[in-house]
Structures are given as structure tokens and as C-alpha cells.
Amino acid sequence: MSKHEEIIKYIQSLKVGTKISVRSIANALDVSDGTAYRAIKDAETLGIVSTIPRVGTVRIEKVEKRI
């Protein structure tokens, strides 16, 4: 498993509502800030985190898109 996949799995394991940051992810998993940043951005694309202005990045429940 790549570091990137490891970070995504770690984020998915967090409780909904947990605030996350690049530095906290990088320190917890011993990866570079850049790797953590890219994984957080991908997690946002996947719909498992949301960046809220003046709050930060928060773990959210993934919402399935309805057609």
C-alpha cells in the first residue's frame, strides 16, 4: 500500500467531525507535508473531508450522489 493510500485510509478511520491538518497527518503517519497535502486534497475530491473557511478541514460523512 502506498503512503498516499495509507493516508486516505487513516482519514477514513477518523470520527466524523474530526478536524485534520496537513501537519497533524504528516506527524501521525511520518510522511512529508506535501504528501499529506495531496492526500487531503484527494480525500476532499472523494467527499470524505470538507474545507470550511475559518474553520479548517473536517472529516465528513460521505454523501452518495443521487441521480
Q: Identify the CATH number of the domain in which residue 32 sits.
A: 1.10.10.10
pTM: 0.85
Indicate whether 40 belongs to any domain.
Answer: yes
**What is the extent of the structural domain holding 22?**
3-59
Provide the number of structural domains found in the chain: 1
Give per-residue burial for 14-49: e unless 16+ CB within 10 Å, then b.
Answer: eeeeeebebeebbeeeebeeebbbbbbebbeeeebb
**What pLDDT does residue 28 have?**
93
Indicate whether 29 belongs to any domain.
Answer: yes
**What pLDDT does residue 57 have?**
94
57 close to 51: Cβ distance less than 8 angstroms: yes
Indicate whether 65 belongs to any domain.
Answer: no
- N residues, the chain: 67
Residue 38: in which H helix or E strand, if any?
helix 33-46
Indicate whether 47 belongs to any domain.
Answer: yes
Low-confidence spans in the chain with pLDDT less than 50: none
**What pLDDT does residue 7 have?**
94
Indicate whether 66 belongs to any domain.
Answer: no
Indicate whether 64 belongs to any domain.
Answer: no
- Of 15, 17, 12, the closest CA to residue 56 belongs to 17
